[in-house]
Amino acid sequence: MENKLSAKVAIVTGASRGIGKGIALSLGAAGAIVYVTGRTGEGRPASVPLTGTVEETAAEVTKLGGTGIAVRCDHRDDKQTEALFQRVKDEQNHLDVLVNSAWAGYEGLHDGSDFPLDQPYWSRRLSVWDDNLFGVRSAYAAGVLAARIMIEQQHGLIVHISHKITGYGNPAYHIAKTATDRLAAEMAEPLKAHHIAVVALYPGLVRTEGIMKHAEFIDLSNSESPQFTGRAVAALAADHQVLAKSGQALWVSDLAAEYGFTDIDGKIYVPTWKA
């Protein structure tokens, strides 16, 4: 997919680390201009004990052949989010791809405040709800602002990172991800007339910094790199028929088989819980 996205402009939220970073790197490898957003930047300590800054991700994007632009942005703050989209419009005059990856649902696991992992939801702090649902609101706000730009140009792609929900017992997480899928479907329908596609995207078990912090407790034999999800986004962004997928929730592994890409180790990972 090298240079398939040359001159394309993307915003990836929550890209200082994790899946967001992997997406930014893959878009950069495909030649895109990538605005890398997140709360953690130089001189701004992370809210969780994990490595990664927006500047580091942006530098890697550029090293891979794209153009990385770091923007420290707390997507809980609408003014900061609005300023981000105005900056992109002023500097680039268009926006081709928005990826909503910002999410705070695992912060309590990263800093240890939500241990043990198997405690019931009624034993957890009430703010777990806010951490999980933050991602839905930030995706909505960013999606609205992206739509305003994309409608003017009559094309675009919006991707919401989600998860296939199975089982019960974790209402904050499950409702957040169910809502994310619904958000994609709701946004997609009226935007089809403007040639703008909106999808939810399901990764498998991803080897993010947070997952690797607890690697000794997790079976990683069927896990994938963050760039695998990124390659799915890059493939969607390069697909001139992507509008046919609008409103759907898509598996990264299915897109790998369809578009012919692999993970960075040359494999395609199919999650064990995929129905």
Average pLDDT of span 174-189? 97
pLDDT at 113: 73
Count of CB atoms within 10 A of residue 113's CB?
Answer: 12
Alpha helices in the chain (DSSP H): 18-29, 54-63, 78-92, 107-110, 128-153, 171-191, 209-213, 226-238, 252-259
pLDDT at 214: 74
- What count of other Cβ atoms lies within 10 Å of the Cβ of residue 6? 13
- Report the pLDDT value the prediction gives residue 108, as an integer from 0 to 100: 67
Q: What is the pLDDT of residues 77-136, one digit of tens each?
A: 999 999 999 999 999 999 999 999 998 777 766 677 777 777 899 999 999 999 999 999
The residue with tokens 């999800």 is 229
pLDDT tens string 220-275: 889 999 999 999 999 999 999 999 999 999 999 999 999 999 999 999 999 988 86
Three-state secondary structure call for residue 242: helix
| Predicted pLDDT of residue 158 | 99
- Model pLDDT, residue 119: 87
pLDDT at 11 exceeding the cut of 90: yes
Give 45's contacts (C-beta < 8 A, 6+ positions apart). Answer: none
pTM (two decimals): 0.95
**Domain positions in the chain:** 9-259
**pLDDT digits 0-9 by tens, 37-80:** 998 777 666 677 677 799 999 999 999 999 999 999 999 999 99
Measure CA of the first residue to CA of the last residue in the chain; give whole Å.
Answer: 29
**How many angstroms separate the Cα of 64 from the Cα of each of 15, 28, 37, 52, 110?**
16, 6, 18, 17, 29
Phi (first) and psi of residue 50, to 5 degrees: -130, 155
Tell me yes or no: is domain 9-259 CATH 3.40.50.720.
yes
φ, ψ at 218 (rounded to 5°): -125, 140
* Mean pLDDT, range 162-177, rounded to an integer: 93
Active site residues: 173
Rounded alpha-carbon distances, angstroms, from residue 132 to 4, 25, 105, 150, 171 = 34, 25, 4, 28, 10
Place of tokens 């990385």: 68
